[in-house]
Amino acid sequence: MRARARVLLCWTFLCVIALTGAAAGAATPHDKANATTYVREVELSIPLAGPSIVAIGGDQSVWVSLAKAGKILRISDDGQQQAYSLPPGSFPVGLLVELEGNVWFTDIRKNQIVRLVPSTGEFRHYDVPTAN
């Protein structure tokens, strides 16, 4: 059975990730008696970035909105980090990863909802029709 990623805690410098999966012979993933938990600390590649929201992608990658840095960060299962830079003045919060892999978030300084297509690095910005 494939391990499932769960985010336990995210601080300014460290993001703690637990991978929990059923051991061989476990009846269900909820069979806690036969489950194994691994905890891995990942130092964020961008210091003082202000991580605010964390989401898990369908491929078990961890996505983090880095509000202070104006970036969206992907942490792959092997710990590799890829940052996607937003336009100057952006402040990304609220994060959702679609099953198809696209990432949606809000940019509260620009009053927009934004879609990121990771395979191309393309951003699509949608203005919110009301102020604030």
* Residues facing residue 98 across a β-bridge: none
The reported pLDDT for the residue numbered 50 is 83
Q: What is the pLDDT along the chain (132 residues), one digit of tens a residue?
A: 444 444 544 444 444 444 444 444 444 445 555 555 556 677 788 877 888 888 888 888 889 999 999 999 998 878 889 999 999 999 998 899 998 999 999 999 999 999 999 999 999 999 998 876
* Nearest alpha carbon to residue 19 among 30, 9, 4, 34: 4
